[in-house]
């Protein structure tokens, strides 16, 4: 008898009970971490007529793994991956909204549904690799999920939820995980001319001209203020970004690097300022009149107008996705045609690397950066 009770504690039990309406249902029962009996309904006698069928259904639903193993682990001081995710969300989730949004998406849509009930020290790298392989995602997205799970395991060791050792995610490989699924599109001069001609709304056109002439992202262009421009030294500073209407810090210190402001682009911005109702130094350059200048134009609305112009110019396929990525990739490509050294291009793009060597051995000289940027500005603005 004692042996039967012991087996029940380990495996749980399937019992049939009658509800208030008279229908019989199947319950799975187990003892929680504190030794108290718990139960959950998982089937009816219509779907499972016999106890053996009910047991098969409980096994199919992995009820033992979902309820009993975490209870046993808790009594032993072990934790589930879901517990780890909860701690991470509570204590370590990045403050930057866009990063936080991406992390929560990976966690809620993929990681938690698959691994929440598994004990941290029983997450099998081979099983993770197989699971990632089956996900209907681009290799780069799978790489992001693996990277987030790597961070989670690092925190599990830091919080002493598992012994300190080799991170098991280092054993997981993703084919093409660091490569793009498709090559980024790049505009030729004639593409830009056709697109530029279809930009009918003045604020959208100036946004695109700035993005094309300095290689900034849409989130960075829309978050510019007049005080970010040093007119005397013809320099433009990027100090913040806007994502889904939320103003926040930039992703890395490299993104905060200032860029040269070509005189031709400066004149366009000055003309825009003369026409604007919001010209104070602390005003947004692209202040929305619908928000009485208290916020920039909403990114989604600007993207929609950019896509409409691209469609009118016959470039809809090229502009799929984030439109200023096309301009940023084009800016990078056009810089390459100027003959500028790779270190100069790196600094104009505000990239973190041409790997370690470029990071550790100095920045591009300002005169060289200005010359390369000026040549790109001439390419873009001569089409007006």
Q: Is the dihedral of CA 154, 157, 161, 164 positive or negative?
A: positive
Other CB atoms within 10 Å distance of the CB of residue 117: 17
DSSP 80: B
Percent of the chain that is helix, strand, coil (3-state, to 5): 55, 10, 35
| Phi, psi of 62, deg, nearest 5 | 55, 45
CA–CA distance, 163 with 134 (Å, rounded to integer):
30
Res. 342: pLDDT tops 70:
yes
What's the predicted TM-score (pTM) here? 0.62
Tens digit of each residue's pLDDT (9 = 90 or more) over 351-367: 666 442 233 223 444 57
Q: Is 15 helix (H, G, I), strand (E, B) or coil?
A: strand
Domains, the chain, in order of start with CATH, read 2-75 (3.30.160), 81-171 (1.10.150.130), 189-381 (1.10.443.10)
Tens digit of each residue's pLDDT (9 = 90 or more) over 38-85: 888 999 988 899 999 999 998 888 888 778 877 777 777 778 898 899
Choose among 180, 221, 181, 186: nearest CA to 327.
186
Two structure tokens written together for 195: 């697109």
Q: Is 210 helix (H, G, I), strand (E, B) or coil?
A: helix
Measure CA 375 to chain center.
33
Q: How confident is the prediction for the chain on average, in pLDDT?
A: 83
The pLDDT, as a whole number, for residue 278 is 94
């Amino acid at each position: 008898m004692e042996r039967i009770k012991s087996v029940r504690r380990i495996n749980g039990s399937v019992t049939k009970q009658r509800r208030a309406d008279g229908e019989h249902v199947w319950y799975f029962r187990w003892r929680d971490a504190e030794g108290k009996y718990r139960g959950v309904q998982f089937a009816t006698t219509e779907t499972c007529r016999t106890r053996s069928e009910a047991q098969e259904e409980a096994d199919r639903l992995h009820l033992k793994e979902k309820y009993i193993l975490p209870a046993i682990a808790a009594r032993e001081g072990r934790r589930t991956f879901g517990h780890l995710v909860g701690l991470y969300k509570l204590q370590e989730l990045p403050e930057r909204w866009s990063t936080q949004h991406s992390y929560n998406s990976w966690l809620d849509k993929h990681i938690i549904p698959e691994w929440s009930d598994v004990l941290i020290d029983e997450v099998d790298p081979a099983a993770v690799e197989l699971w990632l392989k089956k996900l209907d995602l681009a290799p780069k997205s799978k790489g992001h999920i693996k990277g987030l799970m790597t961070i989670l395991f690092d925190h599990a060791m830091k919080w002493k939820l598992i012994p300190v050792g080799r991170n098991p995610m280092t054993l997981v490989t993703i084919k093409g995980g660091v490569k793009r699924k498709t090559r980024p599109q790049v505009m030729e001069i004639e593409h830009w001319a056709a697109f530029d001609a279809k930009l009918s709304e003045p604020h959208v056109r100036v946004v695109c001209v700035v993005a094309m002439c300095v290689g900034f992202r849409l989130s960075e262009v829309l978050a510019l203020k007049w005080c970010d421009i040093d007119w005397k030294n013809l320099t433009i500073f990027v100090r913040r970004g806007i994502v889904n209407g939320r103003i926040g810090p930039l992703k890395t210190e490299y993104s905060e690097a200032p860029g040269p402001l070509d005189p031709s682009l400066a004149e366009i911005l000055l003309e825009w300022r003369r026409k604007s109702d919001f010209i104070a130094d602390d005003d947004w350059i692209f202040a929305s009149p619908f928000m009485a200048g208290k916020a920039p134009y909403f990114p989604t609305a600007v993207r929609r107008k950019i896509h409409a112009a691209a469609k009118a110019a016959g470039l809809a396929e090229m502009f799929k996705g984030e439109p200023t990525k096309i301009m940023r990739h084009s800016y990078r490509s056009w810089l390459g045609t100027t003959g500028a050294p790779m270190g100069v291009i790196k600094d104009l793009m505000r990239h973190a690397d041409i790997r370690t060597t470029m990071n550790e051995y100095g920045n591009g000289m300002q005169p060289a950066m200005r010359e390369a940027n000026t040549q790109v500005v001439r390419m873009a603005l001569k089409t007006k």
